[in-house]
Amino acid sequence: MNKFSRTLAFAAVLLPTIAAAQNPHLDLPDFRSLARNASDSVNISLGPWLLHFAGSLVSDKDPDKAGAKQLLAGIDSIQVRSYEFSSDSAYSAADLDTVRRQLEAPGWTALLQSRDQQKGERVDIYVMRDADRTKGFALIASEPRQVTIVNITGSIDLASLPALERQLHLPAMQLPVHDTTNPHSATMPSL
């Protein structure tokens, strides 16, 4: 086998692995045990067909709605899993570690990682970009009584996410914002 043939064979074997590593769609675990123990839960999985259908129902006449419609046109899928519990530590870190490990794959870049050990709060926000285009967005937020995971795939304008939340009545994504007067504090306002 000559050098070119070996290189081609090697590339053919690795190409599916490389392509899979660049996939912005996260494989979320079943989370049945979390849903069973939760006092409140949200489970949303919207694929391309349903997103296109939702976009067709949004009016072009209202500028805010038109922006949401344009945002929907670029999105391939939305997954939201959110669980609220009536007691602390109703879930284990292992429940979220399988998702966090996927965000270590090539292509994902951490935008924000916030930890408050005293309050038991942790927020991770990642994006996957291809040149100037965002291909994926992931948020994992946990605190003692609540866990939220959001995964959005497709061409995403991150500044437009609040409009999408309002139009699709999605749970508000909580992002930490640091108080400029106290660099060690973080509050959790909605986007």
Q: Per residue, what are the HEC states of 112-127?
A: EEEEECCCCEEEEEEE
DSSP state of 86: S
Gap between the Cα atoms of 150 and 137, Å rounded:
8
- The β-bridge partners of 3 are none
Instruction: Count other C-beta atoms under 10 Å from residue 53's C-beta.
Output: 11
The end-to-end CA distance of the chain, in Å, is 57
CB 82 within 8 A of CB 146: yes
* pLDDT tens, the chain, 191 aa long: 544 333 333 333 433 433 444 789 999 988 888 899 899 999 999 998 888 888 788 777 877 677 777 777 788 999 999 999 999 978 888 889 999 999 999 999 999 999 999 999 999 999 998 877 789 999 999 999 999 999 999 987 667 667 666 666 665 554 444 444 444 434 333 33
Model pLDDT, residue 141: 94
> Angle at the Cα of 16 (from 10 to 19), degrees rounded to 5?
120
Domain boundary assignment for the chain: 31-43+79-187
116 residue type, one letter: D
